[in-house]
Amino acid sequence: MQDIIEVRGLVKRFGDFTAVDHISFSVKKGEIFAFLGPNGAGKSTTIKMLTTLLRATDGVILLDGHDPSRDPEEVRRSFGIVFQDPSLDDELTAWENMEFHGVLYGVPKPLRRARIEELMKFVELWDRKDSLVKEFSGGMKRRLEIARGLLHHPKVIFLDEPTLGLDPQTRNHMWSYLQELNRKEGITVFFTTHYMEEADRVAQRIAIVDHGRIIASGTSAELKASTGKASLEDAFLELTGKVIRDEESSATDRMRAHSKMWRGGGRR
Amino acid sequence: MKTIYILWLRQLKHYFRSRSRMIGSLGQPLLFLLALGYGLGAVFQKAGEGNYFQFLAPGVIGMSIIFTAIFSGIELIWDRQFGFLKETMVAPVSRMNIMIGRTLGGATVATMQGVVVFFLAVLFGFRPYNWFLVPIVLIAMLLVALLFTALGTAIASLLDDMQGFQLIMNFLVMPLFFLSGALFPLEGLPAVLAWLTRIDPLSYGIDSFRILLVHAGTFGLALDASVLAVVTALLLVIGSYLFSKIEI
């Protein structure tokens, strides 16, 4: 099968700090791909580079055959995204937010209107369509963003921690819709999450990143087998946990050294 | 085209939905118009300059336009902070169109604010010398509004948060307003002040309002129009360039 996302040797530096350090991976057309890692691993930075919001320092990205740095508009046409933090216009109504998105993506009017209704009914916000978004709760905003990201039926949908703060009902509801869309229309799903059980259940392939590098990839079963763990959560901790302990101990070491110096100085 | 329209519409919806902002931003022009207009009227008359209220009204219209326009441009920082900017930045439309739509929306809002102030002035006794020229003033107002919305957007493209807002108000908007001849005639000024008023684009905007509304003015309509057109075009280009460079 064809690769819809291809990343080779991707690097992003902010001054001295290397957020993404030579990442390479590919995602096949129609795949559900999970991009996992602890906070600050470089997941969101990678997504921003894939979605033309950030320019890469080095490396190659091809999204549906187009390079985000050279051909941003073509790339933007092919994906939809649900951001980690809110990106709705609070001063517009839910319906207006959808309409705005549909117009920006050039969805023809009859189709746009039909899809807005369908999606808003699906996320159970249709009866609130004329309410201003600022009156919505966090969960409602999340649902609206997911509906909006799907409005133009993208080839790839990026979901950056889409289920954060959603109750199990909504989460299940959302995933069954995405899986159906994936089956019926062949939409590629690229998502990040901190819920390992969720990744285990829906992702066909998983990559685990830490400190800007991919440290493991494969199916959930492969990851479990290679680490000898029964659950993905344990496999994840096995792969990334050690690094966290390292950090903790070094910080403690620094603290101890510091206090020793301080007490030593006090005695003299 | 549709992109520009929907972004324009969004700015207008924001304007009509925040009534408190609309009314709040009328307080300042009204204060200037009434306190200064009536307060300095007698002195102005004695100095042989004629009716100060008639002189001041075009200046206060200019003031309400520049404040609203720059503020509309600066709104970009809000969009960045509240995340909405990302939604427009990942859409498959050119940054140029996004910038144009925003700027046109902001400029329309600022022009409407100018029109409201114009009618307020009329309510308090301002009389344009020829009502048929009022539609032409509208064009001049739109041009001034475009210029300063583009300036606001250009500045906002360089800023990450609202920390710099006070700086912009005190070191850019206020000087632009006070040095524009909105409050005093541009003739017979000390050399430095005269020079400063001539590099302030708002001077030419207010001058054109005065020519068209009260048949007075310093530079002449041809010079006013050319300066406004050139500076607006320049700022639109700079604004679009800076806007296209935004990374989130």
Instruction: Residue window 63-122, chain B: list those with CB within 8 Å of chain A.
Output: 82-94
Query: Which among B18, B84, B90 has the least Cβ separation from residue A89?
Result: B84
B14 at the A interface (CB within 8 A)?
yes
Q: What is the pLDDT of residue A254?
A: 46
Give the least confident one: A7-16, A89-98, A252-261, B54-63. Answer: A252-261
Q: Assign residue A21 the CATH number of its domain.
A: 3.40.50.300
For A56, which residue in chain B has the nearest alpha carbon?
B247
Cβ-Cβ contacts under 8 Å, B15 against chain A: none
Distance CA B225, CA B231 (A): 10
Cβ-Cβ contacts under 8 Å, B16 against chain A: none
Radius of gyration of chain B from its Cα atoms, rounded to whole angstroms: 18
Residues B16-56 have pLDDT tens digits of: 888 787 788 888 999 999 999 999 998 999 988 889 999 99
For B244, which residue in chain A has the nearest alpha carbon?
A53
Indicate the pLDDT class of residue A259, thresholds 50, 70 and 90.
very low
Give the least confident one: B76-85, B117-126, B176-185. Answer: B76-85
Distance from CA of A44 to the nearest CA of B (A): 11
Indicate the pLDDT class of residue A1, thresholds 50, 70 and 90.
low
Instruction: Domain of residue A147: give its range.
Output: 3-232
Residues whose CB falls within 8 Å of the CB of residue A9, separated by 6 or more in sequence, listed in order? A22, A23, A24, A58, A59, A60
Q: What is the pLDDT of residue A123?
A: 86
Whether A196 is covered by a domain: the verdict is yes
In this structure, how many other beta carbons lie within 10 angstroms of the beta carbon of residue B215? 12
Whether A92 is covered by a domain: the verdict is yes
Kindly determine whether residue A88 and residue B6, on different chains, have CB atoms separated by under 8 Å. Answer: no
Q: Any idea what DSSP says for residue A132?
A: B
Give the global pTM: 0.85
Residue of B2, B75, B90, B109 to mutate for A, most A C-beta atoms under 10 A:
B90
* Choice between B82 and B183, residue whose per-residue pLDDT is larger: B183
Whether A245 is covered by a domain: the verdict is no
Residues whose CB falls within 8 Å of the CB of residue A71, separated by 6 or more in sequence, listed in order? none
C-beta separation of A187 from A157 below 8 A: yes
Whether A81 is covered by a domain: the verdict is yes
* Choice between A181 and B224, residue whose per-residue pLDDT is larger: B224
B10 at the A interface (CB within 8 A)?
yes
Kindly determine whether residue A83 and residue B2, on different chains, have CB atoms separated by under 8 Å. Answer: no
Residues whose CB falls within 8 Å of the CB of residue A149, separated by 6 or more in sequence, listed in order? A80, A81, A82, A157, A159
In this structure, how many other beta carbons lie within 10 angstroms of the beta carbon of residue A122? 16
Kindly determine whether residue B84 and residue A76, on different chains, have CB atoms separated by under 8 Å. Answer: no
Kindly determine whether residue B83 and residue A88, on different chains, have CB atoms separated by under 8 Å. Answer: yes
Residues A138-189 have pLDDT tens digits of: 888 988 998 999 898 899 999 998 888 788 888 888 898 889 889 988 999 9
Distance from CA of A12 to the nearest CA of B (A): 13
Q: Are strands A32-36 and A17-28 parallel, antiparallel or unpaired?
A: unpaired
Indicate the pLDDT class of residue A253, thresholds 50, 70 and 90.
very low
Whether A149 is covered by a domain: the verdict is yes
Q: What is the pLDDT of residue A36?
A: 93
Kindly determine whether residue B88 and residue A104, on different chains, have CB atoms separated by under 8 Å. Answer: yes
Distance CA A153, CA A14 (A): 33
Indicate the pLDDT class of residue A135, thresholds 50, 70 and 90.
very high
User: Residue A55: is its pLDDT beyond 80?
Assistant: yes
Cβ-Cβ contacts under 8 Å, B18 against chain A: 91
For B91, which residue in chain A has the nearest alpha carbon?
A76
Cβ-Cβ contacts under 8 Å, A83 against chain B: 83, 86
Phi/psi for A187 (5° steps) reads -70, 130
Is residue B39 exposed (0-12), middle (13-18) or buried (19+ Cβ within 10 Å)?
exposed
User: Residue A245: is its pLDDT beyond 50?
Assistant: no
B130 at the A interface (CB within 8 A)?
no
C-beta separation of B190 from B203 below 8 A: no
The per-residue pLDDT of chain B, averaged, comes to 91
User: Residue B213: is its pLDDT beyond 70?
Assistant: yes
Residues whose CB falls within 8 Å of the CB of residue A94, separated by 6 or more in sequence, listed in order? A120, A125, A128, A129, A130, A131, A133, A136, A144
Report the number of distinct structural domains present in chain B.
1
In this structure, how many other beta carbons lie within 10 angstroms of the beta carbon of residue B31? 12
- DSSP line for A183-200: HHH--EEEEE-S-HHHHH
Is residue B134 exposed (0-12), middle (13-18) or buried (19+ Cβ within 10 Å)?
middle
CA angle A69, A71, A72 (to 5 degrees): 70
In this prediction the ipTM stands at 0.86
C-alpha neighbours within 13 Å on the C-beta side of residue B180: 29
Cβ-Cβ contacts under 8 Å, A63 against chain B: none
Residue ranges in chain B assigned as alpha helix (H): 2-17, 19-31, 37-39, 41-46, 52-81, 84-89, 95-123, 134-158, 165-168, 174-178, 191-199, 201-214, 221-244
Instruction: Domain of residue B67: give its range.
Output: 2-244
Cβ-Cβ contacts under 8 Å, A85 against chain B: 83
C-beta separation of B210 from B190 below 8 A: no
Sign, CA torsion B106/B107/B108/B109:
positive
User: Tokens 């901790």 sit at which residue?
Assistant: A237
Report the number of distinct structural domains present in chain A.
1
Distance CA A58, CA A268 (A): 53
For A75, which residue in chain B has the nearest alpha carbon?
B92
Percent of chain B with pLDDT over 90: 66
Whether A252 is covered by a domain: the verdict is no
Whether A195 is covered by a domain: the verdict is yes
User: Residue B144: is its pLDDT beyond 90?
Assistant: yes
For B15, which residue in chain A has the nearest alpha carbon?
A91
B245 at the A interface (CB within 8 A)?
no
Give the least confident one: B71-80, B110-119, B163-172, B183-192. Answer: B163-172
User: Residue A120: is its pLDDT beyond 90?
Assistant: yes
Kindly determine whether residue B2 and residue A100, on different chains, have CB atoms separated by under 8 Å. Answer: no
Whether A87 is covered by a domain: the verdict is yes
Q: What is the pLDDT of residue A243?
A: 54
C-beta separation of B3 from A104 below 8 A: yes
Query: Which among A48, A87, A96 has the least Cβ separation from residue B87?
Result: A87
